[in-house]
Amino acid sequence: MVEQCNTELNLGLFPQEVDAVAAVLNRDHISSSELTVAGTVGLGKQVFR
Overall pTM surpassing 0.75 (yes/no): no
pLDDT for res 23: 94
Burial track 8-44 (b if 16+ CB lie within 10 A, e otherwise): eeeeebeeeebeebbeebbeeeeeeeeeeebeeeeee
Per-domain residue ranges of the chain: 2-41
Print pLDDT tens along the chain (49 aa).
999 999 999 999 999 999 999 999 999 887 655 655 555 444 455 556 5
